[in-house]
Amino acid sequence: MTAPEGPLVVGVDSSTQSTKALVVDCATGDVVARGQSPHTVTGTGGARESDPEQWWQALSEALQQCGAAAGRAKAIAVGGQQHGLVTLDTAGRPVRPAMLWNDVRSAPQSERLIGQLGADTWAERTGSLPGPAMTVTKWAWLLENEPDAARATAAVRLPHDYLTERLTGRGTTDRGDASGTGWWATRTQAYDEEILRLAGLSPALLPEVVDPSKAAGSVRRVPGLPLAPGIAVAPGTGDNAAAALGLGLRPGRPVLSLGTSGTVYAVSQRRPVDPSGTVSGFADARGDWLPLACTLNCTLAVDRIAALLHLDRDAVEPGGDSVMLPFLGGERTPHLPHAAGLLYGLRHDTTGGQLLQAAYDGAVYALLDALDRVLDEDAAPDEPLLLIGGGAQGTAWRETVRRLSGRPVKVPLAKELVAIGAAAQAAGLLLGEDPIAVARRWDTARGPRYAPLPPDEPALQRISTTLSDAGSLLRREEHRG
């Protein structure tokens, strides 16, 4: 391994399933060391929870795996899974396991909060509707279902906030992650006091929102933590905003991220407002906006279908008229938090490979359906889709996106873009640069480009018709849920 050309920084991705840490050369963007440690997610039905303490243990282990390079780093930033509700007592210990972004138990509270303030008002103030993923609905659920835990809570944090606070000892967050709570207003770029009263949450429990160009603090002396005390800690941000930094994303360029969840987003200089709830009007981690649509069911759901069929995940076959809506864990886009999966159009000659392809089609369709709402009206229609996430490495995912979107597709060679984006933020803080400029200098979006294919209109029409015709059945599943 060649010697670094510039100072080293650490970028962290604390995701649903694991924590990854990268030590990156500020000058070149080269990853000089890496580490990873898994998380455990528990819960049945609509519940999805993790112990925040294991995130800290995983971060410590991932940094240990980076060896001496971690100790030479001059700054660090944490990117983390969005929306999760972390409740801490007066000693800073978790009151209960964190409710994760894909915990849909707060669907009734979501409906109540939207009804109390009105969809138009929610969207105009916060840019989004408070769906079950949003932290505000999870806090409302906690108040109603575990009032003792709510009363014991002295601080409310997001997952990335929790890790940043463990590093610095200060309660901070950033505008990108705060915009996914439901109680931070994009209109005013401040906590909304009326929404907090509606949710029954004191603003005294919330972290300070740090300016994107400022430090959240410095690393404390922590036994066993292989970081030099006193190095700078950047504000960090949510995972999608971190990936946007990691790509050096410019306005109008769409990203389709294929992971446990699926997301489609683009940087915008216009504050997004969507009272339909399809698009979440998030802030980015700099000073612009990050309109985003998200599905709960993406790679994990399709992998589950492949396992049920005893097929490799790329063993798809063309043909057939089957439609599969793989809503195995409820769904966010469309808003069906208690829906189950649906299969329609089986024939005697339907093959397992065709069913697997139908699962891919159903997962990709929901994201592409939201693409036009995510992009500004003046965005170029032939701009390549940047395909990222674990699914971007799969041939079946890439070819399905090409076949259904009709757009060119580009797959960046850079992996672990959330951690790379966190590293770019740390480097920007250390060097006094815009993290987007840092990421572009690192050329993180470099990768093969695939020419567009004619959109598969019959497949798109089959899925659209089935989704429309199945509305009553899906609503019945919602009622049962």
Cβ atoms of 161 and 171 closer than 8 Å: yes
Residue of 177, 239, 274, 361 marked catalytic: 239
- 304 phi and psi angles, rounded to 5 deg: -65, -40
How far, in Å, CA of 121 to CA of 116, rounded? Answer: 10
How far, in Å, CA of 234 to CA of 220, rounded? Answer: 14
| 239 flagged as catalytic | yes
Closest CA to 426 of 165, 217, 170: 217
Closest CA to 234 of 156, 189, 168: 168
- 160 phi and psi angles, rounded to 5 deg: -70, -30
- 27 phi and psi angles, rounded to 5 deg: -75, -40
Is 377 exposed, middle or buried (CB count within 10 Å of its CB: 0-12, 13-18, 19+)?
Answer: exposed
- Between the alpha carbon of residue 146 and those of residues 100, 137, 156, 197, 226, the distances in Å are 16, 14, 15, 18, 37
Query: How many Cβ atoms are within 10 Å of 31's Cβ, its own excluded?
Result: 19
- H/E stretch holding 272 reads none
Q: Which residues, other chains included, contact 368 with Cβ-Cβ below 8 Å and sequence gap of 6+?
A: 264, 401, 404, 405
SS (H, E, C) 178-222: HCCCCCEECCCCEECHHHHHHHCCCHHHCCEEECCCCCCEECCCC
Catalytic residues: 239
